[in-house]
């Protein structure tokens, strides 16, 4: 986990710890399974979303809730404040997942290559859309605009000069 505000802090996972990441996307009602629905980081699993260092609810992905993560609170990551005041709700503009460690077996680069390829693909598409065939544009302009009365005054002025 990390904090990036007026300073940049990295909170490494602690040895022998668990509960680094929590995801409950099941469509069951929260009342039936008594678990929070959304994405949580650090902390411990309980029916209360405040038990995570950071929690993003499935019902409102535009905000996230954070807690202090003091030394006695979260053993998953190093102690330290992620947010300026606790407990706190803050706006979530965007979130990207870069790397996930799956069951301690292997590291999987989840999004880096895919994100880069998608950005390149979008960049190529945007550049292609920006480039205009000037000859085709001029031809379309003349055929579409000159036949209309939008530029009729040009012909009238030209005829007036000729006498």
38-53, pLDDT tens digit by residue?
Answer: 888 777 655 565 677 7
3-class SS at 40? strand
Q: Could you tell me the pLDDT band of residue 150, with boundaries at 50, 70 and 90?
A: low
Stretch 151-162: mean pLDDT, rounded? Answer: 68
* Distance, CA of 152 to CA of 163 (rounded, Å): 17
Please give the mean pLDDT across all residues of the chain.
68
Encode 47-67: b = buried (16+ Cβ within 10 Å), e = exposed. Answer: eebebbbbbbbeeeeeebbbb
Could you report the per-residue pLDDT of 75-98, keeping only the tens digit for each? 777 777 766 555 566 677 666 666
Can you give the pTM of this predicted structure? 0.46
Q: Is the pLDDT at 121 greater than 80, yes or no?
A: yes
Map tokens 């022998």 to a residue: 16
CB distance 53 to 66 below 8 Å = yes
Closest Cα to residue 82, out of 30, 160, 162, 4?
Answer: 4
Residue 106 has pLDDT above 50, yes or no: no
């Amino acid at each position: 986990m990390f904090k990036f505000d007026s300073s940049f802090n990295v909170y490494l996972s602690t040895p022998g710890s668990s509960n680094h990441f929590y995801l409950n996307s099941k469509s069951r009602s929260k009342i039936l399974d008594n678990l929070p629905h959304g994405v949580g980081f650090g902390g411990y699993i309980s029916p209360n979303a405040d038990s995570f260092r950071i929690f993003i609810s499935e019902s409102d992905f535009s905000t996230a809730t954070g807690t202090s993560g003091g030394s006695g609170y979260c053993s998953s990551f190093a102690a330290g404040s992620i947010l300026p005041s606790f407990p706190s709700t803050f706006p979530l503009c965007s979130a990207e997942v870069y790397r996930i460690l799956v069951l301690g077996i292997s590291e999987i680069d989840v999004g880096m290559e895919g994100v880069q390829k998608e950005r390149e693909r979008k960049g190529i598409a945007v550049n292609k859309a920006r480039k205009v065939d000037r000859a085709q544009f001029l031809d379309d302009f003349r055929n579409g605009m000159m036949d209309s009365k939008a530029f009729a005054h040009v012909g009238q002025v030209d005829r007036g000069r000729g006498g």
